[in-house]
A and B are shown apart, each in its own frame.
Chain A
Amino acid sequence: MEFFLQQLVNGITLGGVYALVALGYTMVYGIIQLINFAHGEIYAAGGYMGVILISWLFAQGFPPFVCLGAALVLAMGYCALLAMAVEKLAYQPLRQSSRLSVLLSALGMSIFLQNGLMLTQGVYDRAYPTEMVQGGFELGTVMISYMQCIIVGVTALLLVALNVLVYKTRIGKAMRATAQDKTMSALVGINSSRIISLTFAIGAGLAAAAGIMVGLYYGSVRYDMGFVPGIKAFSAAVLGGIGNITGAMLGGLLIGMIEVFAAGYISSEYKDVFAFIILIAVLYFMPTGIMGENVDDTRV
């Protein structure tokens, strides 16, 4: 039981991160049916922006929460701009061409950004000042670190904020309308180009937050850190039903849990295999994912 609870805590932490990244895939897919392969690299760029900002702020003697908060906001902003730039240069000119061209453009962007990170930031691991947040507490026999609390807290906050944005605001309404029908929404006066740009920005902001928290949690970032979590988060989006926001959150949590429990109860060497087996099994019986991809209300 103790083991189960400990793994549950670990699984929620990991799943929350996957969920944040998965949202970016799912929102972009929902709105322009593009699998944005460069998303993992945006997440890595967020991790790097975080290490640069946090190390600097922490060295200036700011308290940990100020460092973390400021780094989160600034890195999210930077990545949002970066994603908008990527969209403007690599995807927008191809809006009218076949979906395959945009997909290839996305792959190219991913390679460009990853190599760019390598050139500018070097091939070595960069250390986060992990001494910033240390320790934890024991709940019964389950060890919960403060870092895990922060990850879960920030993730929950961002997920709630996203839900409010999408379902309670005019912008959210415009996003949902554009996702349903671009032509029709343009006819009623929605600037679909701007909405698409905004969708990229929001997804990138969430990924940047995930990148920072992963960096802090594991203590380091590397230029190629976006690849594997990118694939897992993409799987999470597909598992939940790609294009579906609630689905991406659920899918992320599920993939995180499956990974941790498979590692705990079966074997750590096959944890990725199990995550993908479940994915294949779900898709076999529910081709549109757990939540289904065509729930128009929840699709962005």
Chain B
Amino acid sequence: MKRALYLLSVLLLASFVVAGCGKKDEKAADAAKAGIKIGSLGPLTGQYAADGNDIKNGVLAAIEVMNPEMGALGPVTLQAEDDACDPRQAVAAANKLINEKATAVIGAYCSSATIPASEPLIAAKIFMITPASTNEKVTERGMPYMFRTCGRDDDQSKAAVKFMTDQLKAKNVYIVDDKTTYSQGLADNVEKLAGGAGLKVLGHEHVNQGDKDYSAVLTKVKAAKPDVFYVSLQNSASAAPMLIQIARMGIKTHILAQDAVYHPQLMELAKKDAEGVFLTFGYTDKETPSYKKFAAAYKKYGEPGAYSAYSYDSTVAYLKAVKAAGSTDPEKVKAELMKLEFDGASKHIKYKENGDSGSNYVIQVVKDGKFTNYWNPETGELFK
């Protein structure tokens, strides 16, 4: 009887590991080969895991596409590091990638991880190309090897405010952010711009990163009755409970979110409560040949997330530059990267002097469970 109980106990606990052991370690197979080693940095665990894995998968897809073209320089391998979107862990992961002799790092996701991780990487003359960190400061610190494939938050906030005033004809707005470098930076920008655009800011509240209960803030929002509720959260997993609770509390207003919320996970978690939510996101034409090529390579990783295509493009850009330079020498690659111009999966890519590649924010809306282009701030017109 006693032994049976022990056995049962062991079995119960074993249920926690057995299923996990089946997954093989992808890294082990790639290790020990020479060639070009690219690092990826992003949250592979924790609340932002979905976005970090998008970045990693984007790099993997790009490596697969580019590997046959690299010739004697290859093969290209990936070392994926987890920064958990934590500044300290990001620096530790960056140092690890330096030791592992990575020549370029694609990442990170959170601006608050990208900025500290870039210091040791750039000092070691390793390229850092972020596919996702939109905070302005990322490329404004005069770092020679820092590049950015996505847009910038100052441009994103302009698009957001323009949409609120020109299209929604809003008179006032209520702002909530979750206090990260990215989300608060963006929310502060919107607050500043709103004043100039004649948009009254009824309130600007902060919630904690990873919170799931927003009832207190939402009670305030409900009482304030804003024309627009601007939600700046670090990712879709934080935004989904917000949308569920907005619907549950019966708050009827326009909701405008931002790029970090763009992820199929949002609809999966919030379901019909995500319907009608607006968000600012970089414009991507999904009908171009380069996007289709990316989509085909990415297929095995599931549906592309917000930054899969940007991560793919960042990797392709670096590898193209390496190929043109004929070596991984940082100076030569940088010279080639500055000359580089090509049609990426996400957009037309041409890096500027400071490492930025320009923004092209449009307004999207969640319609029938899909992100759909809605309004173009350039022309002030609806998409057809």
Contacts and interface: CB of A to CB of B under 8 A. Distances in A.
B150 interface: no
Residue of B216, B250, B273 most packed against chain A (CB within 10 A)? B216
Contact-size category for A: 35 or more
B311 to A, nearest CB: 17
A130 B271 contact: yes
Given A123-B49, A269-B179, A272-B208, A85 B13 contact: yes
A112 B16 contact: yes
Interface of A is mostly: helix
Nearest to A147: B248
Contacts of A112: 13, 16
Given A113-B16, A224-B46, A218 B212 contact: yes
B282 to A, nearest CB: 23
A259 to B, nearest CB: 8
Nearest to A45: B16
Interface string A103-133: 0000000001100111110011101001100
A253 interface: no
Interface in A234-277: 260-261, 263-264, 267-269, 271-272
Contacts of B46: 123, 224
A118 B45 CA distance: 9
Interface string B19-45: 111010000000000000000000011
Interface stretch (B101-109, B159-167, B217-225): B217-225
Contacts of A145: 248-249
B244 A130 contact: yes
A3 interface: yes
B17 A116 contact: yes
Residue of A136, A145, A147 most packed against chain B (CB within 10 A)? A145
A123 B241 CA distance: 17
A250 B214 CA distance: 23
B219 A88 contact: no
Contacts, number: 137
B201 interface: no
A268 B205 contact: yes
Contacts of B222: 143
Given A88-B6, A269-B207, A119 B20 contact: yes
A282 B208 CA distance: 25
B240 interface: yes
A122 to B, nearest CB: 8
Contacts of B197: none
Contacts of B1: none
A219 B217 contact: no
Contacts of A130: 244, 271, 273
B72 interface: no
A268 B13 contact: no
A7 B216 CA distance: 7
Contact-size category for B: 35 or more
Nearest to B177: A269
A86 interface: yes
A219 B244 contact: yes
Contact of A127 (B179, B211, B271): B271
Interface string A156-186: 0000000000000000000000000000000
Contact of A220 (B23, B205, B208, B241): B241
A136 B248 contact: yes
Nearest to B211: A268
Contacts of A127: 240, 268-269, 271
A125 B45 contact: no
B140 interface: no
B189 interface: no
Contact of A268 (B5, B8, B207, B210): B207
Given A119-B17, A119-B19, A120-B20, A267 B205 contact: yes
A120 B19 contact: yes
A220 B208 CA distance: 18
A88 B20 CA distance: 23
B66 to A, nearest CB: 27
B337 interface: no
B10 interface: yes
Interface string A31-57: 000000000000000000000000000
A84 interface: yes
Contacts of B220: 3, 264
B249 A143 contact: yes
Contact of B9 (A88, A116, A222): A88
B272 interface: yes
Contacts of A218: 212-213, 241, 244-245
Contacts of B215: 7, 10, 14, 260
B137 interface: no
B181 interface: no
Contacts of B349: none
Contacts of B256: none
B17 A220 contact: no
B12 A85 contact: yes
A116 B216 contact: no
Interface in B192-250: 205-208, 210-217, 219-220, 222-223, 237, 240-241, 244-245, 248-250
Given A119-B20, A123-B50, 14 more contacts: A3-B220, A7-B216, A85-B10, A119-B19, A119-B21, A123-B49, A124-B50, A130-B244, A130-B273, A143-B222, A260-B215, A264-B220, A268-B211, A271-B208
The 8 A-B pairs with the shortest beta carbon distances in the complex, nearest first, are A119-B20, A116-B16, A263-B216, A85-B9, A123-B49, A10-B215, A269-B206, A85-B12
11 contacts: A3-B220, A120-B18, A125-B269, A127-B240, A143-B222, A214-B212, A218-B213, A219-B241, A228-B210, A260-B213, A260-B216
Interface of B: 5-6, 8-10, 12-13, 15-21, 23, 44-47, 49-50, 53, 179, 205-208, 210-217, 219-220, 222-223, 237, 240-241, 244-245, 248-250, 265, 268-273
Interface of A: 2-3, 6-7, 10, 14, 81-82, 84-86, 88-89, 112-113, 116-120, 123-125, 127, 130-131, 134, 136, 138, 143, 145, 147, 214, 218-220, 222, 224, 228, 260-261, 263-264, 267-269, 271-272
